[in-house]
Structure formats: structure tokens, C-alpha cells
Structure 1
Amino acid sequence: MKFRTTSERLRKLIQSCKNKKSETGCSRPRTVDGVLMSLAVGEDSSSKSMGFDKEGRDDSEASETKTEPKTPPNEGDVVEHHPAIARKASESSLCPTEDEDDDEERKIELGPQFTLKEQLEKDKDDESLRRWKEQLLGTVDFESVGETLEPDVKILSLAIKSPGRPDMVLPIPEDGKPKGLWFTLKEGSKYSLQFSFQVSNNIVSGLKYTNTVWKTGVKVDSTKEMLGTFSPQAEPYTHEMPEETTPSGMFARGSYSARSKFADDDNKSYLEINYTFDIRKEWQS
């Protein structure tokens, strides 16, 4: 196929326009600009229809030039889905530093322990320190202060109080195991436990009372009361538990087993009693 040059096409177009004017009497001859525009449009359309672009390349070459192959990302690459910078956890952020290792290895070293008597005798010439110790310790009976570091707490008495009734004083066995039934309570009655104790040798910290009750092997009640911190003194301390009400009804009546315990912050037990009691319709005569 032969392609005509632009000049030949232009010459023939002008000639055809003149011939058409002479035949039909056309009053508006096409200008040279119009002819050139038509020529340009004709070139573009003819090129497109034949599968060529403006640069003379066919469609397959143009598509290969414009379309770039997409390669899938590697496993280690970070794909950004947001304008923000994607961050990877570095090895240094996951491993503990030397300072953290030093903190773990560093342990709290407490100073030497002294008996309460030694603490009171230290700095006795300093009036301000003496007053501060007296304010901190309260009234300390020096005769009750021993030479040992460990405090000693002795439970002196246990009693059950109920409105309108005399106090029920409970015997405290030395082995912590009362023989037989320890006491009996009336169903639906109000009662409270009162006890007295004495502290000697040293200060007892965080003394607490716990009591757990079971019926037919199932735990039905648990009580924990923080009593406080006490310094040694000859006069006994007295504490009364909050008032409670015994359960009532056919299923509440019967025998119960329980365990009471007096211990401090160091979990040192001063008294543990395992006992049984009954809840009945009436008080025991």
C-alpha cells in the first residue's frame, strides 16, 4: 500500500474545493486553515483506524510501553497502606537493656534488725528523736519488752455477746482443739465476738483475725478482720467484732465446723482453734 504525502493531499483537496465551487456556487470556500485542520483530523483518524498512534507505533508496542509489570512484594518488605511511616519492631526494642538487667539483679538490702529495747536505747540523748519514738510507739511498758526480735501475742479470753443475755465466755484450749461442742447459738439471733490479748517483746504488725465456717463439708461463711499494729504493754488490748445475725430456718439449723486464727503480716500464727458449734431453735440452757 502506498501512502500519499501531505503536499499531494493538500493540493488535491484545494483543487476539489475549487471544482465544487464552480459547480455548486459555494459562497464560503474553505480556507487553508480549515483544510489543514481537516487534514490533521484525517491523519489522526486514519492512523487510529489502522492501529497506529501519533508516533507511528502499533497498539501492541504502545501498550507494552505504558503498562509496567507489577511484581508482588517480598515477604520481608513493608507494604504501606497509609501515608504514615510503617515501623518494624527492632531486636533492640525486644531485648532487655543492661540497665534493666541490673535492676532485676539488684535486690533490696535491709539493715540489721534490732530489738525494741535496743531501738529505744539508741539516740536516747537526742530529745527530738526520743519524742518521735514515743509518738510512734505510744505507751510502751519496758517490763514487757524482751530481748528477742519476735513479738509475742497471747489471746487471753474469747466471749460471745448477745443483747439481753449474759456473755458466753469460751474456754481456750492449749492445743487449739476444744473437746466436743464449743457453743450453741439461737437461729436469727444477733451476736458479736469479743476477745482480749496481750503483746510482749516487740511490736506486732498487721494482727488480723480470720474465721471460716463449713456445713457438711461446704464452706458457708468466711470472715477476715484487720485488728492493727500493737506495741508491747502490760495492760491487755480488747477488740469487739461487728455484730452479726445467725441464719434461720430448717436448713440453717444443725451442726457446723469452723476454724479461727490470729496471725500477723509475716503470717506468724499466735492461735488457731478448730471447733464445732450448733445453731438451734432456742438458746442452750
Structure 2
Amino acid sequence: MPCDLEMGLDNNEDGNGSPETKKIGGVEEEDGDESVGLSRKMSEASICAAEDDEDEEGRKIELGPQCTLKEQLEKDKDDESLRRWKEQLLGSVDIAAVGETLEPEVKILSLAIRTPGRPDIVLQVPESGNPKGLWFTLKEGSRYSLIFTFQVSNNIVAGLKYANTVWKTGVKVDSSKEMLGTFSPQEEPYTHEMPEDTTPSGIFARGSYSARTKFVDDDDKCYLEINYTFDIRKDWQSS
């Protein structure tokens, strides 16, 4: 997807890159809340680290050991408030079915571009992850938002992020990340809509672009990488 097609003018981050509250599977968690222990503590690195998630000395940041959902529920079981928080996060998860699985799995089902007054552009994700030919076309100066639909299974996925890089004639013109959150496994897909943005306009903004989109978690595990091309034109492509 054309992550922030303003070509670097605005990457949708606040002043310090670290929000005061974090969205965890639909549950807002205040900074300093000890309940973050359920999902191996979302580190500041998951929100504002450099692309390789390395610390100042260049070493890989170490997250705590990952646990199965069954082990997560056994922890601090005598703490009533923490138990209720875990139940709220996990919802109707069938622990018998996924409780012994260590690695989470995230499947990106579809991506869509929503523009006011027009039908959504729904982009099916090919199995190879690389659409052939031109994937989509946008009109210059048009408002849009990106919508992701994905499914989480097996275990909690911590710090799921969307990262996108865009090139024009071989020159990188935009690179940005968006923290989606931490999600528990469930049968129903999750939907995340990005803040509305505007495509660039003008003669120099028009033309063909290449891009790479990735969905990764706090362990830097990549669930999908898409390499594709798109166009920005003076008007919408006729159907």
C-alpha cells in the first residue's frame, strides 16, 4: 500500500513517537500498568525503534521469553484484577485448541484503499506476496485511508507493525511505520483503518512508483512482505 503517499511530508507519528496509551486487542493499556506482563511487555522499541530494532550498541533488543496461552493464564492466577484483564484480552479464545502453541500466526486477508465518494479499492493478497504488473492507480490530490483485514491464530501477537517504503525512479521518496497493536487469537478477523491521508499532486508527483510493504511483530517476525507498483495520475482510471 502507498504508506503515507505524501512522500515523506508526514509519517503520521507524534512528536516523540511513543503514545501514552497502547491498544492491545481492543483493550487500552496505560503506561506503567503491570498487566503488560501478559504479552512479554510491549517495549518502546516496538513503537519508535529504528528499522532493525537495535539498541545504541548495535545489539539486538532482547524481549522476554515467549509463553503459550496456557502458561500465560497460569501466571499470577491469584491476582484477581490481572486475571480479569487477561480474560478481557483473550475474550472467547478456545484455550484447549491453542493453549499449547508457542508461535502466533498472522494472516493478512486483504488490503483496501478507501476514498470518499468512491467504492473501496480492494486488493487481494496473492500467495506469492508480489502482485504482477500495476496493482492500483490513485488520483493526485485525493483523500484516502488504508484498511487492513487480518486474522490472528495460535497465540498472542505482540507489537504488530505495518512498515512501508516507496521509490520513484529508483529514489526512495517515503518510508514510514504504523503500530497496529497487540492482538489475541480469535476466529473473527481484525480490521484496522489508518488515519486519512492525501496523495501528492502536481506534475512531479504523477507517474509510476514501486513499494514494499511488510507486517512484522516485536520479534521482527515477518508475516507478509509485498513488493508492488502503483501509479498516481491526473484523474481516476476509467473502469
TM-score range relative to shorter protein: 0.5 to 0.7
* Structure 1 range deviating more: 262-271 or 232-241: 232-241
Deviations 1:46-76 (A, max 9, x none): xxxxxxxxxxxxxxxxxxxxxxxxxxxxxxx
1:237 Cα deviation from its structure 2 partner = 1.1
Deviates more, 1:126-135 or 1:250-259: 126-135
- Give how far 1:268 is off: 0.3
TM-score (norm 1): 0.56
- C-alpha displacement at 1:242, in angstroms? 1.3
**C-alpha distance after superposition, 1:224-256 (max 9, x if no partner):** 100111111111111111111111111111100
Q: Name the CA distance, whole Å, in 1 between partners of 2:75 and 2:138.
A: 54
* Pairwise CA distance, 1:132: 4.8
Secondary structure, counterpart of 1:274 in structure 2: strand
Identify the residue that residue 142 of structure 2 maps to in structure 1: 189
Aligned equivalents of 1:189 and 1:162: distance in 2? Answer: 7
- Distance 1:254-1:201 versus aligned 2 partners, 3 A rule: same
Pairing 1:1-285 to 2, within 5 Å after superposition: 114-120=67-73, 122=74, 126=78, 128=80, 130-135=83-88, 137-142=89-94, 145=98, 147-285=100-238
Query: What letter corresponds to residue 141 of structure 1 in structure 2?
Result: V
| CA positional deviation for 1:145 | 2.3
Deviations 1:116-172 (A, max 9, x none): 13433x37985836435324x341411662532111111111100001000000020
**Unmatched tracts of structure 1, length 5 or more:** 1-107
8 A contact 1:146–1:200 mirrored in 2 = no
C-alpha RMSD over aligned residues: 2.4
Q: Is the 8 A contact 2:161 2:177 kept in 1?
A: yes
For 1:205, what is the secondary structure of its paired residue? strand
TM-score, L = length of structure 2: 0.67
* Mapped partners of 1:167, 1:273: distance in 2: 20
Which structure dedicates a bigger proportion of its chain to helix? 1
Mapped contact 1:140–1:231 kept (Cα < 8 A): no
How many residues align? The count is 175
Q: Distance in 2 between matches of 1:132 and 1:187?
A: 45
Q: Which has the higher strand share?
A: 2
Q: For residue 211 of structure 1, report the CA deviation from its aligned partner.
A: 0.8
User: Contact 1:140–1:232 at 8 Å: present in 2 too?
Assistant: no
Alpha-carbon distance between aligned partners in 1 of 2:156 and 2:85, rounded to the nearest angstrom: 16
Partners of 2:102 and 2:192 in 1: CA distance = 25
Runs of 4+ in 1 over 6 A off after TM superposition: none
Q: Deviations over 1:168-218 (max 9, x none)?
A: 000201111100000000011111110111111111111110111000010
The structure number with the bigger radius of gyration is: 1
Match for 1:220: what amino acid?
Answer: V
